[in-house]
Structures are given as structure tokens and as C-alpha cells.
Structure 1
């Protein structure tokens, strides 16, 4: 295939000063990628996904459509970092998204982005991201100080948005009304609402309830996945307008017990498939039945993707210190979900709002349903 692409360099464009990114953290990430190259025996690597680019650039926005492909590609080699974007995106990238030490190149808006980036490789044949998916995922696992601080702030603000919106909810409010109020709060935070779910009392059987015009009724769930600086906070909260039935209160306590067992299994050196095995056993142990895990995904490591990756019986990635997770055990009419980090002191919940009611479960404060 012949690639007809004009490549121009804009690294010295006015306004291309440092924007997102922590220089110390970026240096560690670059070394991690260079280690991958050394292990593979290749001279360069082409990063092309939102997850990899946002991680390596330490928070830069390289998308336009939330559902679209990135509008940039990154060529990493021993000599430096080269970000290639379309000519109609280059000025904004240079002014607002380009970390120090990254050379910016542009191609025509109708050009071939990945081919142009590959041309910058010394041999013209860089290692493709898809060839080292597992290695890059491992490189993202252990969070660094700057991104840990950014993630904790995002998660706390997301939890606060849920508190603010659900505290004002009424039984007559619609699911779309709750979702739209949450969307406004998330965007006002400078974040992007990647997922907004809501179900009222009449739709409680759905695990992924896209909102409808249905009223909330006596009880409702809201779920937010909010992205900022490339990081995705995942939070679920429940609200009710009565005291709750004995069966509901019992199920809520039991699903929190399932989660507590999963937290106990999330320790340095464990494997994701081992943690997943504990999830399966916990459902049986706490009265949900052995097959409950088959009815919805259970979560996994979090960060620059909603789950990075989802845990399954086949995922054997190791658990490491400072890694972040969102486990989301669920049962009929119940679900619990927060974003947490594995620290030297154990599990630290990041998506915390002190205004939300909680109960102590195995030493960790966990959210209750907000009763209005």
C-alpha cells in the first residue's frame, strides 16, 4: 500500500508549554516502555488506543468523540517521544495537551495517522501496541504519585456529585432526570460521563439499566463512570424513599459481605483469576447461589480504562501494590461499587463522600442506601 502523507513538525509552536502530566511520573512511564522495547528486541513502539495514550501522556485528551478512535498516535523510541495528530487538531494539542519533551507532528486531516507515525520509526516498522497488550497493561498497574492524587480527587468528586443529585431526588423524578443532572455535574467537574445508568423500582432486575422516562418510585440505583485526565472513576449508589423491606436490607448487607471477601482477596501477589475464584465462593457463602457470578461481570483493575482488564476465570494478571480496582458484585436488586486503591495499609476507598451514609464492613466504611 502506498501512503501519500505529508508530515510537518510543529513541536516549537507557540503555547506548546507543559500541560497535563507530572514530569517525574512521565519519566517512569517512559522507562517502563523502553523496558518493553528492550525485552522485545525492537527499536520503537506505536501507541494507538485511548487507554495507552492517556496513560503514557499522563492525562492528555486525545479524543474528540467519546465513542471514536483517538485523533493522535504516539511513536516511542530510544531517542524520544513523537505525537502525531491531524492538522486540524495540532494547534489545540500543542496549546493544551502536549507535555514537555514530546515532539508534535501533524498530517492532513484526510491523511493516514498510524502510517505517518510509523514512518517516524528508525526502521519504519514499529512494534504495534496489540503485540504487547499484556506488557503495557502491566506497565499501567502500579500507580505513581501524581496520577494517584489525580485519581483520588476525581473519585471523591464523582461520589460528591452522586450525593448532591440523589439527595434532591424524589419518587416522581424520572431516570432520565437523574441521569441528566449527573451528566451536568460531571461535565462541570471537567470530566466526561462515559457511563450513566439509572433504574427505578420498576426496573430493578436489570444490571446495566440505561435510563428511561420511568419514575424512580420507592427505590433507585444510579451508576456513574466519569473520565478526567484519562482516568475513569466508577461509582454506584442507591436511594430509597421508605425504610426498605427486610429482604432488601438483608440482601444489601449480604452483597457488602461478598465485596468484603473480595477486598480480603485483593492482596499483592494474588492473581486476578484467584481473586475471581474467591468472588464465586463468596456468592455461595453469603446466600446468593453458586451461579450468581454468571449474571454480570464482577469488575477488576481500574484506571485508564473502566476495567483494565475485567477479571474472569482466565485472567491471571498479578495484583500489585498501589494498583487501583473497581469490584462490583451484584445480586437481584442489589449492587455495590466503588473505586479503591491497594495501599501498604490495605484497601483504601477513593470514591468517598463523608456526607453519604455508611456502615463498617470488615473494617472498611461501605455505602448504605440513602434514605430520604
Structure 2
């Protein structure tokens, strides 16, 4: 149980005069407990009733597993699987708890560091082992195996080989060869937190390399603007200008540019004029892209600057704006 996160929920309830509150959304359940209340397909099998005490509601099917593996020690009310009641009111379907989740507790930050480090290492090892003759699905399967072996759930796996990397921003893996240039995109979840990262490899594709350098320059601007007190809208405005500076003024409209992460791949996506102010303790994941190139890591915003949670020291790096950023991997090298 994350006591800092629970304190925020209790303050929220006091401010609104709620003596009881029901929590059923998976991101909120994980934010408070570090456990999961779904079976991986979005089907909720438990929820929390928060009052004078915290009571877990679940079915007879899930009761032993939930108490042994997800939320040990909680009082529980067990319901028949055929008569599992919906959560009462007020609840987190009626009241958005996203603003409470955006600043991560010290405990959650420590968990995120470990997740980011292990996810980046696993992805890096697999992508470095890949060869141009692999199929996209083969790379996706290897990524999934490496992540699950560490207890990390791949919420999203995107892979594009040479045939598709210039065409699609969300390339679900298909039966195409990787070829001379390929991209792997991962949203990796453990204990509710989600680390986002992208890695690219090429073997002599000059256009991919040229565009990747431009994307790094766009990202540099976003990272420079990611400071406490800056709004998401202001960071997006800087990204818009940066795309123009590298010769692609309208590219920002072709794909979302990222935003605040945490217990969802993006808790808040940067949109024009978005008023949310960045604060220390927030996770940020920007993903500027052009056809054929994309860069992405997950950062923790601190009082002293940005901490890269998904940095892989074994991945080739390039210095951009005083930061070590992932370079292209020379596939087959």
C-alpha cells in the first residue's frame, strides 16, 4: 500500500464530504495498492470500498488469488461470481482521480526506476540480437518473452520493418521482414506503472538516419522545456516550432507528441493550450516522430532536472543538448 497515495485520496474525500468512496478503475487500483484488479483484458474482478476501513470486494473465483498475490492483508467481502455487484457511489467512474495520480510518491518513483531500467535492458538486448531476416512478429515475440521473464507486462508492442516504418506510426507486428531498418515500441507495465520506450535499428538506410537526427533535435527542445511550472501546452508549442526548424512544420499533427505518464501510457497528452503545469514527481514521455523515425524514453521530472528512467547504458548513445540519447543500432553489426 502506498501511504502517500492513500493520503491524497483521503484528502480528496474530506474535501468533498465523502465518508465512503469506491475505487474500481485499474489505474487507480494499482496507484493505491500496487496490485492489479483485472485479468489483462480490462475485465475488473475486484474493487475497493474506502470508508472507516478499506474493504476489498471480489468474487469467490478471485478471492484466494487477490489476497495471496495482489492485495494481501485487506479485509474482503466475497461475492458469488454470478452476482458480483457494481461499485457503489460515489466512485472513480463518476470522479476523475487522474490529477491525484500525476505526482508519484517516493515509493512509486523507486518502483519506476527499477521498471524502467529492467525494461530498457530487456528491449535493448532483444533489438540488438535481431537480424534483418527476422519477421516483425518474431521480434515482437522475443520482446514479449524477455519482458514477461522479468514480470513486466507488455501493454503495447509495435514493430515496423523496412517496408512499413515510413508508412505507419502505430505498426502492429505483421509477417514482414525487418530488413535494413526497423523500429520497436514498447509500453511496459509492472505494479501499475508504465514505462514507454522506442528503439530503432538500421543497416545502411541513409534516409532513416537523416530523419532520426532531425527527430532528436525536435526532442531536445521538448526536453529543454520540460521544467517545473511549464504547461503541457507550452511544451507542445516548442515542439511545433522545432518541427518547422527541421523542415517538417506540419509533422506534429501526424501523431500525438506524448505528455505525462505514470499509471497509464499517457495520463495527459499534450494538446494545444493544455493548461496542466509540470511538477516534480511527474513522469514524462515525449515521442516526436517523422515517417521513418521516432525517439522515446520515460523521464522523471525532479527539482534538479530530468532523470531518464529507461536509459540503457549498453545501447549506443549520442549526445544531444548535453544529454545522452539513444542512437540508431547498426543491425547485423
The TM-score bracket by the shorter chain reads over 0.9
Q: Give yes or no for contact 1:72–1:113 (8 Å, CA) kept in 2.
A: no
TM-score when normalising by structure 1: 0.85
Distance 1:113 1:174 in 2: 45
2:101 to 131, 140, 143: 140
Distance 1:268 1:223 in 2: 28
1:99 deviates by 4.6
Q: 2:142: which partner in 1?
A: 181
1:44 deviates by 1.9
Q: Tell me the alpha carbon deviations over residues 112-137 of structure 1, each in whole angstroms, 9 at most, x when there is no partner.
A: 3324xx2xxxxxxx32213331xx22
TM-score when normalising by structure 2: 0.95
Distance 1:158 1:272 in 2: 26
SS across alignment from 1:254? helix
2:6 to 30, 37, 41: 30
Q: Give yes or no for contact 1:223–1:237 (8 Å, CA) kept in 2.
A: yes
1:89 to 45, 62, 70: 62
SS across alignment from 1:366? strand
Is 1:60 the counterpart of 2:35? The answer is: yes
Is 1:212 the counterpart of 2:174? The answer is: yes
1:361 deviates by 0.9
Is 1:159 the counterpart of 2:120? The answer is: yes
Q: 1:10: which partner in 2?
A: none
Distance 1:61 1:364 in 2: 35
Runs of 4+ that moved beyond 4 A: none
Larger Rg: 1
SS across alignment from 1:201? coil
Distance 2:191 2:18 in 1: 29
1:214 deviates by 0.5
Q: 2:91: which partner in 1?
A: 128
Cα RMSD between the aligned structures? 1.5
Q: 1:277: which partner in 2?
A: 237
Q: Tell me the alpha carbon deviations over residues 271-323 of structure 1, each in whole angstroms, 9 at most, x when there is no partner.
A: 2222222222221122221x211111111111110100222225322211021
Distance 2:71 2:313 in 1: 36
SS across alignment from 1:33? helix
Distance 1:313 1:74 in 2: 36
1:151 deviates by 0.9
Q: 1:123: which partner in 2?
A: none
1:249 deviates by 2.7
Q: 1:320: which partner in 2?
A: 279
2:189 to 214, 220, 227: 227
Q: Tell me the alpha carbon deviations over residues 234-279 of structure 1, each in whole angstroms, 9 at most, x when there is no partner.
A: 110011123x31x433321111111111111111112222222222
Is 1:40 the counterpart of 2:55? The answer is: no
Distance 1:283 1:212 in 2: 30
Aligned length: 330
Q: Give yes or no for contact 2:260–2:269 (8 Å, CA) kept in 1.
A: yes
Distance 2:299 2:246 in 1: 22
Q: 1:345: which partner in 2?
A: 304
Distance 1:30 1:146 in 2: 12
Q: Tell me the alpha carbon deviations over residues 150-170 of structure 1, each in whole angstroms, 9 at most, x when there is no partner.
A: 111111111111221111111
Q: Tell me the alpha carbon deviations over residues 16-67 of structure 1, each in whole angstroms, 9 at most, x when there is no partner.
A: xxxxx4xxxx22212111111122222222111111111011x112111x22
User: Alpha carbons of 1:56 and 1:369: their partners in 2 closer, same or farther (altered >3 Å)?
Assistant: same
SS across alignment from 1:238? strand
User: Alpha carbons of 1:99 and 1:316: their partners in 2 closer, same or farther (altered >3 Å)?
Assistant: farther
* Most deviating of 247-256 and 342-351: 247-256
Which structure 2 residue ranges, 5 or more long, are not aligned? Answer: none
Distance 1:68 1:98 in 2: 18
1:225 deviates by 1.0
